[in-house]
Structure 1
């Protein structure tokens, strides 16, 4: 036994780290080597269910996460969300500060900016500001933008104004378009959309041209505050600046009207698009379908679903799931079944609560065979969830 331990200690450091990482990320076969992408996917899978704070930190270290990878950014976000949900703030601080201090490949502005955003996601704005100021190198506009976004994530909109006014001057940073767009977002989310007019004036003085993101965020803010006259003013400003509203602008307006429970007006915008020979996309139709479903107008929602197919717009999984849910709520189980089959053919399976509502609805409509077919398909795809169907299976057995 002692010789085995001694032999392990004599292993090269990189091999010990490899063995430890594999044991954490792939305990079923810890000897199997994992590629970087496999490590990332394993980490994401584990982080979705892991609740132990120390274990979450170990998983992140084992996967050697980096913000250069999209999968790793997802893993970081999952880890921080889980730790914040359990108020394990010291573990978040230990994880991010430790990576900044111990990983030479992460001692750069990119990861520093990412760490600032993650602290904001956790609501730890003091730590985000600390990381911004503690950099060995002078903070950059990238770090400033990350800090402003951290404020937005932390819902500290007042801090956005203070940091925007003070930090560029104190640290010799020139704000760029992303800086202004984040400030616009903060004002609009906090119900102060009209304050953005002064931001647009400043951008003009600095020679920074607003883009579609700037205007779309402002339009959504004015719709949220139901300042419809200001919506018109923004559209006029866009025209004066040669910024022609595209599909993205229309989608923001349609979504905003649907959120205000005004889907008929949103539908009129779609008609206007078609008259201008603009082609709507799947997002356009999703917002409209959701809007009419929320208002209980399932016939219009179904008509739009059919129309989007004729227009060559392919529904996404969210569109299928939303329509199935509301069709079940409205008692139209036959249509819901057809939409569900189409969704499942694309390997998009709604969540258990939606599927359970559909199966029970089919049973109540004397469509027992169809209910059993759907349930068996779901159980076949997700055998680990088969226990959840016991109550429904018992009801089916009584109906048969």
Structure 2
């Protein structure tokens, strides 16, 4: 057998083994064993190149609030030569940030020179992002102001967009807007992400007129709005109870070739729910079904309680069946309310079907009950 064929076979075998390891980690329910298996698997170089596996494992541990386990897992990674590579170190900083463990992210950033690992704007952005994700807002401006000067780093577009995000999350909208001017002074051109971040916050906080001014700035700077920009405006219109204007906007988007997504439809559904218009809320749910989109958890959690409130138990039943067909995770109370409404309307068979679907599906046991069973 030729050397090339042997190499290809070895590569294929390793790829299969990594897939098997990933599947084993995904299926491991004991989190202590999960960490042990992860550390053992990390001895394989190819495993250490698989960022998604790291992200999913840390996400699971963070959701379970196993922060010591996250520290054990990520600190173990520093023994490998990979830690001398900035990309690998950035991954550790970012993962600590996603887990809300900023002190560990800062410590990792500070340790990089000890391993002859260069700190460029890439790792600076990871540290800044970790600070924002950890909601250490009191430190964001300090890091942005001091670290670049100390390390002779020039903040780039990602740096400024992270600061815009931080100001928006702090509710300092005016500071976020002023950051656009600061960027331009430094020769950094804001992009659609910069504006979308501000638009999301202004429209979402009922500052519609301020958001429209920012929209005007975006157009003046020849930055083309994308679907996220329009979705922010749709939500703003919904919160202003101007959802019919939002519906007209969606039709205009279709005419200019901008494809609405599930967030577009959800904004309209939310708006019509807020305005008490059941027919329009149902119509726009139907538009999701007609499109290439799929209703998500948020769709159902907005629409189902409203449908129940309006007494349309037949439609609520159909929505429940769709929830299970699509394996959507929703709150137990939402489904139980549908069961109770069906029983009250003497639709016992439909109620039993929802209970059965809730308690025998393949992804979650909701432990639903008929009222008479309680």
Per the normalisation by structure 2, the TM-score is: 0.81
* Equivalent-residue separation in structure 2 for 1:321 and 1:187 (angstroms): 29
The partner residue of 1:94 within 65, 68, 72 is 72
The partner residue of 2:339 within 333, 337, 359 is 359
Tell me the number of residue pairs that the alignment of Structure 1 and Structure 2 aligns: 349
* Equivalent-residue separation in structure 2 for 1:377 and 1:317 (angstroms): 18
Deviation at residue 188 of structure 1 after TM alignment: 1.0
Q: Secondary structure in 1 aligned to 2:365?
A: helix
1:35 aligned to 2:17?
A: yes
Give the conservation status (yes or no) of the 8 Å contact 1:60–1:76: no
Q: Secondary structure in 1 aligned to 2:190?
A: coil
Deviation at residue 380 of structure 1 after TM alignment: 3.6
1:133 aligned to 2:110?
A: yes
What are the residue-to-residue correspondences of 1:318-357 with 2, within 5 Å?
Answer: 318=297, 319-348=299-328, 350-357=330-337
Q: Deviations over 1:224-266 (max 9, x none)?
A: 45444432321121111111223221102223454xx33x324
Equivalence for 1:265: 242
Cα distance change, pair 59–240 in 1 and its aligned pair in 2 (3 A): same
* Equivalent-residue separation in structure 1 for 2:248 and 2:202 (angstroms): 22
* Equivalent-residue separation in structure 1 for 2:165 and 2:245 (angstroms): 27
* Equivalent-residue separation in structure 2 for 1:361 and 1:306 (angstroms): 22
Deviation at residue 293 of structure 1 after TM alignment: 3.1
Q: Deviations over 1:199-244 (max 9, x none)?
A: 2223223332211110010112223454444323211211111112
Equivalence for 2:210: 230
* Equivalent-residue separation in structure 2 for 1:117 and 1:75 (angstroms): 14
Cα distance change, pair 359–238 in 1 and its aligned pair in 2 (3 A): same
The partner residue of 1:315 within 258, 270, 294 is 294
Deviation at residue 105 of structure 1 after TM alignment: 4.3
* Equivalent-residue separation in structure 2 for 1:76 and 1:384 (angstroms): 22
Deviation at residue 296 of structure 1 after TM alignment: 4.5
Q: Deviations over 1:324-346 (max 9, x none)?
A: 34423543221011222344344
Equivalence for 1:210: 190
Equivalence for 2:373: 395
* Equivalent-residue separation in structure 2 for 1:42 and 1:112 (angstroms): 25
The partner residue of 1:159 within 130, 139, 152 is 139
* Equivalent-residue separation in structure 2 for 1:191 and 1:358 (angstroms): 37
Equivalence for 1:110: 87
1:374 aligned to 2:374?
A: no
Unaligned segments of structure 2, at least 5 residues = 1-14
* Equivalent-residue separation in structure 1 for 2:147 and 2:313 (angstroms): 57
Cα distance change, pair 381–100 in 1 and its aligned pair in 2 (3 A): same
Which region of structure 1 is more displaced relative to structure 2, 300-309 or 33-42?
33-42
* Equivalent-residue separation in structure 1 for 2:310 and 2:105 (angstroms): 47
Q: Secondary structure in 1 aligned to 2:242?
A: helix
The partner residue of 1:58 within 3, 20, 36 is 36
Cα distance change, pair 121–332 in 1 and its aligned pair in 2 (3 A): same
